[in-house]
Amino acid sequence: MFRAHALIENLLFTIVPVLKKRDSVTSDNMDTSKDYTSGFFNFMKKATTPVQTVDTIIERLDAEGFSKLDLNEQWNFSASGKYWLSPYPSMIIAFTIGKSDSLTKSMRIIAAHTDNPAFRIKPNPEVSSEGMLTLNVERYGGPILNTWFDRPLSIAGRIAVKSDEVLKPKVIHLDFQRPILTLPNLAIHMNPGPNQSTEIKVQKEMQPLLTRLMEDEVKDNYLLDLVAKEIGVNAEEILDMDLNVYCCEEGMLVGLKEEFVSCPRIDDLSMVYAAMEALVASDNNSGINIAAFMDNEEVGSMTKQGADSVLLSSILEKIHAGIEGIDQRSECQVKDYFVISADGAHGLHPNYAEKNDITNKPVMNKGITIKISGSRSYASEVETIAAFQQLCNKAGVKYQKFVNHSDQRGGTTLGPLLSKYLPVHVVDVGVPMLAMHSTRELMGKQDFLDSIEVFRTFFQLE
C-alpha cells in the first residue's frame, strides 16, 4: 500500500553543521523563552485529557489559518497549504506544503502521543461510606500511584447522548476545569506504611473523594446528574460516559534560577507542544512537514487511533496522492522520509545515579536526548542518530544519548511502531526528565526550548 520501501535507498539527509552552542537562555532570546514557557503553561491548562488536548491543538491551528480536512473526501492541495485532520477525537495530524510549485520532494514527520498515565472512571462509579461519596476508577497506563494523593483533581472526557441516528449518538466534550476531586492520604498516625514502601491497592485506596452527601441526597446516579447539569442536558439523555481523572494543578518554573519546568503531563505533552509550535513557526520552501499526535501509547498503542495501526500510513498515502496536482509533470513520488519520534527520556536523578547506564547519563538542561536500545525498543539506528546529531548542530543546540542500564528493561516509544508500518528512517528523541509518570513531572527549561528550536530547524530543511 505504501511506497516508502522503494524510496528508502534514496534517503539523503545531509546537514551542514553549524558550530554554535548555547549554555543558557541569553538576553537576545529571553523574550522567546518567556513566550514559549508561558504558552506551554497556558496550553496545559486546557490539555487535560487526550480529547481536550486535541481540541486545544485545533484551536491553535485554526487561529494560524490551517484548513480542516475530511478523511472521506478527495484531497487536492496547493503550494503553501496548511491542513489538519482528526479522524478520531483523541488524535490529530497537521501538515504544511512547501511554497515551491515544483514537486514536493520530502516528508519530515514528528510524532508524539496525546495520552498520559491517569485514572478512568468506571460505569456506575458512586461508592458511599459514612456519607462520603467516592468514585470507582481504574488505572490507565503506569502512573506513580502515591503522587496522586492530596492533589486537586478534576474530571474531563466525552459524553454520548441520544440522537435521531441510532448508530451516531451525539458526543459532547466535557471538562469541569475546577478541582472537584481529591485523594486524601490516611494520617501517618494511623498508617506508617507510606514511609515503608507499602503496596497501594487501586481498588481500595485510589477512589477519589467527590463530596459529602447531604441527608436528603442519594449516591445513585450522582455523577450522572452532575454531568447532565454541567453540559445542559437531561440525565435520561446520557447513554454513556468516557471520563478521566486529571491533576488540575498548573505548571510553573522551579529551581533557584527557574531553570526547571514542573508540570503535570510533561510526558508527552511537552513534545506535542514543541512539535505543534515548530510546525506553526516553520516556513518551508519545499517538502511536506507533518506533526502526528497519536493516542494510547501508554497502553500499547493497539487502537485505531494509536501508532500500532495502519491509520498514519493510510493518511500519508492520501497526502501523497493529493499533491499530484502541484506538479503534473512529475510522478509525484516522495523521495525523502525522515521521522522523529518525540517522547520523554529518563534524566539522571541525583539521588539514584546508579539507575542510569554507567557511561550514558543524560542530565537536565544539558541537551535533548537521543534514545538508543539494542533490543529495538527504540527505533534509532546509526544513520538516524548521526542525522539528528547534525540537525542539532545546525540548530545550535546540545544533544545527549540515553541507553538503558544493562540490568533494566526500560520502556518503549512510538518509534518502533511507526517503523512497523512506515519502512523509513526513524530516530527516537526526547527531553530528559525526572519523575516520569508522576502526577507532576520535571524537565529542564533549556531542553524544552531547544526541542522547539531543533524541531523548527527540522521543518525548515531544504
372 beta partners: 403
For residue 13, name the pLDDT band (cuts at 50, 70, 90): very low
* pLDDT for 327: 55
Amino acid at position 177, single letter:
Q
The pTM of the full predicted model, rounded to 2 decimals, is 0.91
* pLDDT for 104: 60
All three cell numbers of 287, joined, read 517538502
* pLDDT for 397: 98
Closest alpha carbon to 414 in 323, 308, 278: 308
391 vs 334, higher pLDDT: 391
Of 58-62, 216-220, 425-429, the poorest mean pLDDT is in: 216-220
Query: Could you report the per-residue pLDDT of 192-211, keeping only the tens digit for each?
Result: 777 777 789 999 999 999 99
For residue 103, name the pLDDT band (cuts at 50, 70, 90): low
For residue 313, name the pLDDT band (cuts at 50, 70, 90): very high
- Average model confidence (pLDDT) across the chain: 89
Q: Which CA distances in Å does 129 have to 135, 181, 223?
A: 11, 16, 16
Query: Could you report the per-residue pLDDT of 41-53, keeping only the tens digit for each?
Result: 999 999 999 999 9
Query: Could you report the per-residue pLDDT of 333-382, keeping only the tens digit for each?
Result: 445 789 999 999 999 999 999 999 999 999 999 999 999 998 889 999 99
Domains defined along the chain, listed by start: 3-116+265-460 (3.40.630.10), 118-247 (2.30.250.10)
* pLDDT for 4: 43
* pLDDT for 409: 77
* pLDDT for 292: 98
Query: Could you report the per-residue pLDDT of 394-442, keeping only the tens digit for each?
Result: 999 999 999 999 888 777 889 999 988 888 899 999 999 999 999 999 9
Burial state string for 33-59 with b = 16 or more CB within 10 A and e = fewer than 16: beebbeebbebbebbbbbbbbbbbbbe
Burial of 266 (0-12, 13-18, 19+ CB in 10 A): buried
User: Do the Cβ atoms of 4 and 423 come closer than 8 Å?
Assistant: yes
